[in-house]
Amino acid sequence: MEVCYQLPVLPLDRPVPQHVLSRRGAISFSSSSALFGCPNPRQLSQRRGAISYDSSDQTALYIRMLANSEIEVSVSARNVRRLLSFQRYLRSSRFFRGITVPNSSNILDDDYNGQAKCMLEKVGNWNFDIFLFDRLTNGNSLVSLTFHLFNLHGLIEHFQLDTMKLRRFLVMVQEDYHSQNPYHNAVHAADVTQAMHCYLKEPKLSKSLTPWDVLLSLIAAATHDLDHPGVNQPFLIKTNHYLATLYKNTSVLENHHWRSAVGLLRESGLFAHMSLENRQLMESQIGDLILATDISQQNEYLSMFRSHLDRGDLCLENANHRHFILQMALKCADICNPCRTWELSKQWSEKVTEEFFHQGDIEKKYHLGVSPLCDRQTETIANIQIGFMTYLVEPLFGEWARFSNTRLSQTMLGHLGLNKASWKGVQREQSGSGDDVDATFEEMDSDILPQEPRLS
């Protein structure tokens, strides 16, 4: 079946194919990649962070796996564009043609900037409103918040980071999130990063973590869903998507997020002054953190966490134990929405359900079989949230509270209980639809659960 979509990302150094021009902005793909607007893998070879397939051996290559320090690049439109995402390529091409591109970040007045700065003074508060902060920063919440946290934790000075390179890296990260995704977008990444900061401040962690640990944690949090397509792993697998093939149906999205993050780190040259050994260690450990967010591995991580707590053998002076705790912290940050205040949690619930249902609509349209929790005709926000809280969130945060029994942990569990009760109230008001959602969650196999639980 051939499907037509609006023109997707095309290779930056190749002319637009004639058949594309003739369709006036639409492009036809028989590949399953086109089901949610993703181009054929062979047309991704110059997209920063994407994967291409060599036509001869089908070997997957990351285009941006070249460190800036190892390549001499002349400042020309032809060479610069090879380092840019499609969106930034369009801006740069306008620049080289002498076309002025308005910078939306400059339209903020002093009042908005002042309010954003005031909010950052309370960035460690659990009730931090990331939606308000995103509005105050004109959609630049991820850049503004993460840059502030790097400075707050002393990472810029400690690692002698070039602030221009850091900002460029963060801008590229923010741009590589898909703003059209209702849930998996840069605002979610900023929210997870803010939550991670809260966990890093917890007494057990703050007195044990090294600057290296904090650096890895913030980068992993900011990039943990980088270039998320807005559909889950089972969807990619059943449509034979090239990412599923590349990663052999295992942690498909997480592997892609990680590799995309590594590509940006190398492209930005942020750590080019470090030794190759340290850069490689950083890339590997960031991968360990991001891969831990795979919800299909939830039971394994939770079992290890529980066993450590039962034995009482966690020693945060041990680098491996600290790294494991950071994995658990990122897992908590990733799905902490039900532990926020009702006003914030409800907004996240609506957004993730919208993304669920959008996937279900696509699956219906192309007769793919609707994934669990994605059918807007049979599911409700309340039912989905109650099941999610019961089978994923409560077990994880219960163990986290055992590890770090602090005011923050009790606050999170308190919000979780109140929010669950609120959704049960909504459920009772509805006309008896979806009463078996708890059973649906309970019976679902771990690798059928929505990847990164669609609330990640």
Burial 441-452 (b: 16+ CB within 10 A, else e): beeeeeeebbbb
- Please name the residues in contact with 93: beta carbons below 8 A apart, sequence gap of 6 or more: 77, 81
Contact 228, 178 (CB under 8 A): yes
Residue ranges of the binding site for AMP: 184-188, 225, 334, 385
Q: What phi and psi, each to the nearest 5 degrees, are found at residue 127?
A: -90, 20
Contact 77, 83 (CB under 8 A): no
Q: Is 92 exposed, middle or buried (0-12, 13-18, 19+ CB in 10 A)?
A: middle
Give the count of beta carbons closer than 10 Å to the beta carbon of residue 20: 17
**Does the annotation mark 184 as catalytic?**
yes
Q: What phi and psi, each to the nearest 5 degrees, are found at residue 5?
A: -135, 170
- Angle, CA of 258, 122 and 193, to the nearest 5°: 5
Strand segments, DSSP code E, in 51-93 are 51-53, 60-62
419 SS3 class: helix
Contact 216, 300 (CB under 8 A): no
Name which of 258, 220, 254, 221 is nearest 236 in CA terms: 254
Residue ranges of the binding site: 184-188, 224-225, 334, 385
The single residue of 19, 153, 178, 184 carrying the catalytic annotation is 184
Interatomic CA distance for residues 111 and 425, integer angstroms: 40
129: left (phi over 0), alpha (psi -120 to 50) or beta: beta
Contact 79, 44 (CB under 8 A): no
Catalytic residues: 184
